[in-house]
Amino acid sequence: MEYKQIQELLKAVNKSNISELSIKDGDFEITIKQSSPETQYVAVQAQLPAFAGMPQQSIAAPAPAPAAPAPATTAKETAAPENGNTITVKSPMIGTFYRSSAPDKPPFVNVGDEIQPGQVICIVEAMKLFNEIESEVSGRIVKVLIDDASPVEYDQPLFLVEPA
Amino acid sequence: MFKKILIANRGEIALRIIRTCREMGIQTVAVYSMADKDSLHVRFADEAVCIGKAQSADSYLNIPHLMAAAEITNADAIHPGYGFLAENAGFAEICAQYNIKFIGPTPEMIRSMGDKMTAKETMIKAGVPVIPGSEDLLQSVEEAKKLAEEMGYPIILKATAGGGGKGMRVVWQEDELEKNYHTAKQEAAASFKNDGIYMEKFVEEPRHIEIQIAGDQFGTVCHMSERDCSIQRRHQKLVEESPSPFVSPELRQQMGEAAIKAAMAINYESVGTIEFLVDKHHKFYFMEMNTRIQVEHGVTEEVINFDLIKEQIKIAAGIPISGKNYEPQMHAIECRINAEDPFNDFRPSPGTITVLHTPGGHGIRVDSHIYAGYTIPPYYDSMIAKVIAIAQTREEAINTMERALSEYVIEGVKTTIPFHQQLMQNEQFRKGDFTTKFIESFELKNKPS
């Protein structure tokens, strides 16, 4: 494989959700590993013809799981769960994230809880206005990504949910 | 002095403000839309907050999102830059309500200059020359004739609901007035369903010459001389320079005094610009006031050796200005480089910059947010860089600009660099003999790629 092809291959893997790719072609062998920041995606078996053209054409796309954006400065990094696909619930607002409606009240949701669409899962407060954030999916809370009373920005990941 | 400033803007001006804040020891917060994640201002600031989707309405124009970002970062001031919310009185008011200093004028000052009729009335009261015009819509041909005689020909009839050059008629002498009166009214009715027309003196071969001013919170106002911005295409400035080749020291003094009068009339606080039209007889008329920092402010900075953003921040922090006026000590020319194809009617050319070499050397300043590998998003304006050439004389500044443009390499997108190169070689431009009509007759030679 030529250097330029390897470069293209690296670019393609980097752009995709693939975490590991191995290619064997006669005497030539290459393994590319990429650490994924959050959720795990369905693993892909790439079917590879002989290298004639651009390598990126021969890499199959992974199953479309909702992609997580680059985490913001205040986000906590989390280990990816073991199996299946998970949905990331992101903040539609900028403000301070609260897990319960008041300091002395229990959190709206905990890890392991089942949630329904329309159910309030947290509060994001800005300018003294408390906004209840409702879930758009049904499923199970796998992970809470933000500490209570932490600032969050637009589109910041808040929860990992395993869809029902 | 402020501890932390949130910059409610993007691109090169956000970088510009961050640079001065860094020199002043002030912490900076950048805000960015989803489309601007990789923008340079995000990386240069001390903190960054994503404030919404790519569309400006969802992000840079979204006041609740901006205020929330200021709240969670504990910013004590907001710099609005130019464009976006810089002249939005409502935004300035909300900042005041939340006790976050808006780095600019008060909401009342913004409002008084935002409404064109009110601005004109204020200027007349202040003794600032304005374009003579009818006070109301014209009611009859007779009234029009009388007014035109008072003003002196040529005059222009304009549709009150107008725009795009429709419903406008220039009349050079009295025997043409009646005919044009009727056709102007008809065109206005057809184009805008409103046949109301008014009259203004037609400024012959106007030059667009503006005066930079600054006012503090204590009533002191000063001016920093002029910028000539006559090189425009469809009312968008392309090239600006200071001093203007058309302005004598006497005219500079007169225009400077008029600009100070205009700013004092509204007790102006912060930096701003008074725009004038200047006719071939060296008579100048107030056009409008921009109550913000402008794109071309760097031109003035280079010829008077002054940091206008620093001055703006100091004024907002309650520091008085010296009151001294500033005159150009050098000659500076700015070319605005846009991601547009000048050989295809200036069609916008967003995309990824693959190769970049920025000009340098003596007498060159480049304000830009682009870098090799940067993808210019299609959601915002197309300006990607400002190149300023500074020299002792105008001719040398033009030569420096030519040299700099020839070494400016931007690959991956089309830019207006070739257009500026041809402009710098144009004889009329080099002579300094141009008005706002210049670009209309400027022919771009088709260069083979």
Residues of chain B with CATH 3.40.50.20: 4-103
Say whether both A94 and A46 belong to one domain.
no
Say whether both A49 and A100 belong to one domain.
no
Q: What is the pLDDT of residue A83?
A: 52
Residue A137 resides in a domain: yes
**Residue B218 tokens, joined:** 């204590």
Q: With H, G, I as helix, E, B as strand and everything else as coil, classify residue B136.
A: coil
Q: Could you read off the pLDDT of B69-88 as tens digits, one per residue?
A: 999 999 999 999 999 999 99
Any CB–CB contact under 8 A between A70 and chain B? Answer: yes
> In chain A, which residues have pLDDT < 50?
37-82
Under the banding of pLDDT at 50, 70 and 90, the label for residue B245 is: very high
B51, B53, B72 ranked by CB distance to A151: nearest: B72
Any CB–CB contact under 8 A between A43 and chain B? Answer: no
Q: What is the pLDDT of residue B239?
A: 98
Tell me the chain B residues in contact with residue A96 when contact means C-beta distances shorter than 8 Å. Answer: 72
| Domain CATH for A119 | 2.40.50.100
Under the banding of pLDDT at 50, 70 and 90, the label for residue B37 is: very high
Measured at the alpha carbon of residue A154, what is the angle toward residues A147 and B87, in degrees to the nearest 5?
Answer: 130
Question: Distance between CA B318 and CA B208 in Å, rounded?
Answer: 32
Say whether both A40 and A97 belong to one domain.
no
Q: Does domain B141-201 have CATH number 3.40.50.620?
A: no
Q: What percent of chain A has pLDDT over 70?
A: 67
Q: Could you read off the pLDDT of A13-61 as tens digits, one per residue?
A: 777 777 778 887 777 778 877 765 443 333 333 333 333 333 333 333 3
Q: Select the CATH number that applies to the domain covering B207-441 from these four: 3.30.470.20, 3.10.20.90, 3.40.109.10, 3.30.505.10.
A: 3.30.470.20
Residues of chain B with CATH 3.30.1490.20: 141-201
Under the banding of pLDDT at 50, 70 and 90, the label for residue B134 is: confident
Supply the range of the domain harboring residue A49: 3-58
According to CATH, the topology of domain B4-103 is Rossmann fold (3.40.50)
**Is B292 known to be catalytic?**
yes
Q: What is the pLDDT of residue A33?
A: 76
Q: For chain A, positions 11-30, list CB contacts with chain B under 8 A.
A: none
Whether B72 sits inside 8 A of A154 (CB atoms) is no
Kindly list the distances between the CA atom of residue A125 and the CA atoms of A93, B95, B294, B350, B410, in Å, as whole numbers in the listed order: 9, 18, 35, 37, 44
Tell me the chain A residues in contact with residue B53 when contact means C-beta distances shorter than 8 Å. Answer: 154
Q: What is the pLDDT of residue A115?
A: 95
Nearest-Cα residue of chain A relative to residue B67: A127
Mutate to test the interface with B, among A96, A153, A158 (most CBs of B within 10 A): A153
Mean pLDDT of all residues in chain B?
94
**Residue B304 tokens, joined:** 């008077």
* B438 and B230 Cβ atoms separated by less than 8 Å: yes
